[in-house]
Amino acid sequence: MGISTDPVDRQKEFDERNNLGFPLLSDPDKKVATALGAKRRGPLSNRRISYVIDTDRTLLGIVKSETNMLTHADNALAILRERNI
Domain segments of the chain as ranges: 1-46, 48-85
In this structure, are residues 70 and 50 in contact, taking their beta carbons and an 8 Å threshold?
no
In this structure, are residues 5 and 26 in contact, taking their beta carbons and an 8 Å threshold?
yes
- For the cut 90, the answer to whether the pLDDT of residue 72 exceeds it is no
Average pLDDT for the chain: 85
pLDDT of res. 25: 85
Nearest to 29 by CA among 46, 12, 16: 46
In this prediction the pTM is: 0.67
